[in-house]
Amino acid sequence: MSWSKEQCQILLQEYQKYPCLFAIKSPLYKNKHARQEALHRIEAVVKEVRPSVTIHDIKFKFNGLKTNFMVEYKKWNGSRRSGAGNEDGTDAVYTPTIWYFKSMFFLLEHCQVRMATDSLTEQVETVEESQETECSEYLVGEDGVLEDVNNTPEYIDTPSVSPAASCSSPRQQKQKKRKIQNDVVEANLIREASNTLATINRSMSVTNYVNDEDEALAKYIITKLRKISREDVRMDVEQQILEFLHRGIKQCIDQ
């Protein structure tokens, strides 16, 4: 059964209470016992509205919400900073399609990021480009904790700088930073999707023959998904499909 809006709201509210699960500067961030205790407390509260929930379900659902949020945040923040559209820029800002967009801003609180909420809440003053600070990107690990991908070796960018490159304009430097940030978000989404597909593939590789019925069903689902023109609806359907597959795989493993 898919999560209701009320259940998701409670999950996000409880997650926000425990900085050790997402704030890198928290003294308990690297304390595995503290993180596990926080997840148990979240589980106890969520069970009041979703009795069958487990810690694994909680981490899986939060990971899905976080992925959708980062996709929407990338679009919103990119449109806000690009200034494309009308001359006054009033209609240029992308409007997020997920209801919990603002509810997940707590993930960014430990970054020094200059947010402009525009039509979402209020107007903020424009500042010099040189004063803007880039926001770090994060990935939810297997233990349900956010990891700073900017501090991960595979995401550290250390290109050689020539004298000519050091003289580039502030606008060019900002465009490069924005491109690197967008590439990181896309890489995170691809990696998460690959992990999910790998889990499904391992569960299906138990047999040594091709199941024509399974292939036909998969093609049928893909055909139907392509008919969903609204991105927010398609993302919600895909999330529900993954949840059903996850429960099926978990039941087979537990047997």
Considering the entire predicted model, what is its pTM?
0.46
CA proximity to 177, closest of 130, 223, 141, 221: 130
Element (DSSP H or E) covering residue 138: strand 138-140
Angle separating helix axes 231-254 and 55-82, nearest 10 degrees: 160
Q: What is the predicted pLDDT for the residue at 239? A: 83
CA 251 to chain centroid, in Å, comes to 26
Buried b (16+ CB within 10 A) or exposed e, 95-130: ebbbebbebbebbbebbeeeebebeeeeeeeeeeee
Q: What is the predicted pLDDT for the residue at 140? A: 47
**Could you tell me if 28 and 35 are in contact, meaning their C-beta atoms sit under 8 angstroms apart?**
yes
The residues that bridge with 122 in the sheet, in sequence order, are none
Question: What is the mean pLDDT of each successive set of 10 residues along the chain, which is 255 residues long?
Answer: 93 92 86 95 96 94 90 89 58 88 85 43 36 43 48 43 50 69 67 64 51 75 83 81 80 75
SS3 state at 147: strand
**Could you tell me if 20 and 31 are in contact, meaning their C-beta atoms sit under 8 angstroms apart?**
yes
Query: Which residues, at least 6 apart from 92, have a Cβ–Cβ distance to it below 8 Å?
Result: 79, 80, 82, 83, 84, 85, 86
Q: What is the predicted pLDDT for the residue at 134? A: 39
Q: What is the predicted pLDDT for the residue at 209? A: 45
Q: What is the predicted pLDDT for the residue at 40? A: 96
> Cβ atoms within 10 A of the Cβ of 32, count?
11
**Could you tell me if 101 and 108 are in contact, meaning their C-beta atoms sit under 8 angstroms apart?**
no
Please tell me the distance from the alpha carbon of residue 96 to that of residue 76, in angstroms, as a whole number. Answer: 7
Q: What is the predicted pLDDT for the residue at 173? A: 72
Mark residue 83 as left, alpha or beta (left: phi above 0; alpha: psi -120 to 50; beta: remaining).
Answer: left
**Could you tell me if 147 and 141 are in contact, meaning their C-beta atoms sit under 8 angstroms apart?**
yes
